């Protein structure tokens, strides 16, 4: 039996990928792992519930949204632009780490992870949340509720929620224009 394949072209971490012949129905998380060796995106529940597989999708207008890669096939991302955990940090021309994002740095400083399995999804979710705050600032009194709403669907089996939320709060308060009094 021959596996049906179709070409796939998209942008991942700022670089064009493809066209690559990819099996029809292959989940994006498998494409990232097996074709591109981008293994930071985690396969968790396989049902889109835990959000460990979340990546950032850059919409044509520049806004960021979350996309789960275990429930969407690779071809769902045809022509789209995504950022995996590997593409979050700033790198120099040689690919060497230059600087972590404020979210990544805050997660480290707050030791927001225990096993780290869910961390890539939380980084993606927090990145999307910060993008939203930069476009639509909120009142300081509403920040806690907004963080909970933004990260509510992300599951941490080690129960690191408090530290994740503290780190995101710190970044939101330190980023000019995100929180208003």
Count Cβ atoms within 10 A of the Cβ of residue 147 and give its class: 0-12 exposed, 13-18 middle, 19 or more buried: buried
- CATH number for the domain spanning 38: value is 3.10.20.30
What pLDDT score was predicted for residue 95? 79
- Over its length of 181 residues, how does the chain's per-residue pLDDT go in tens digits? 788 999 999 999 999 999 999 999 999 999 999 999 999 999 988 888 889 999 999 999 999 999 999 999 999 999 999 999 999 998 888 878 889 999 999 999 999 878 877 889 999 999 999 999 999 999 999 999 999 999 999 888 887 788 899 999 999 999 999 999 8
Where among 29, 59, 86 does a domain terminate? 86
Residue 97 host element (H or E): strand 97-99
Where among 54, 71, 86 does a domain terminate? 86
Same domain for 94 and 165, yes or no, is: yes
Q: What is the pTM of this model?
A: 0.92
Crossing angle of helices 161-174 and 102-109, rounded to 10°: 130
What pLDDT score was predicted for residue 91? 86
What pLDDT score was predicted for residue 8? 97
Crossing angle of helices 143-151 and 119-135, rounded to 10°: 130
What pLDDT score was predicted for residue 173? 95
Same domain for 33 and 102, yes or no, is: no
Same domain for 109 and 56, yes or no, is: no
Same domain for 75 and 18, yes or no, is: yes
3-state SS assignment for residue 44: coil
Q: The domain containing residue 159 runs over which residues?
A: 90-180
Please state the domain count of the chain.
2
What CA–CA distance (Å, rounded) separates 146 from 148?
A: 5
- CATH number for the domain spanning 118: value is 1.10.150.120
Same domain for 132 and 78, yes or no, is: no
Q: Which two three-digit tokens encode residue 85?
A: 């955990």
Same domain for 73 and 115, yes or no, is: no
Where among 69, 86, 103 does a domain terminate? 86
Same domain for 81 and 100, yes or no, is: no
The DSSP call for residue 178 is: S
Same domain for 70 and 134, yes or no, is: no
What CA–CA distance (Å, rounded) separates 141 from 156?
A: 26
């Amino acid at each position: 039996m021959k596996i049906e394949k179709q070409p796939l072209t998209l942008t991942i971490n700022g670089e064009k990928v493809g066209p690559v012949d990819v099996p029809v129905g292959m989940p994006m998380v498998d494409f990232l792992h097996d074709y591109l060796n981008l293994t930071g995106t985690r396969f968790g529940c396989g049902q889109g519930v835990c959000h460990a597989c979340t990546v950032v999708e850059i919409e044509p207008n520049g806004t960021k949204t979350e996309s789960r890669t275990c429930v969407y096939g690779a071809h769902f991302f045809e022509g789209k632009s995504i950022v995996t955990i590997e593409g979050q940090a700033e790198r120099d021309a040689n690919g060497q780490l230059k600087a972590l994002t404020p979210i990544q740095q805050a997660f480290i400083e707050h030791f927001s992870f225990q096993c780290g399995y869910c961390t890539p999804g939380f980084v993606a979710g927090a990145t999307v949340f910060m993008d939203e705050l930069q476009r639509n600032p909120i009142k300081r009194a509403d920040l806690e509720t907004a963080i909970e709403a933004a990260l509510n669907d992300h599951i941490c089996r080690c129960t690191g929620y408090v530290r994740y939320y503290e780190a995101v709060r710190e970044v939101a308060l330190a980023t000019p224009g995100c929180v208003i009094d």
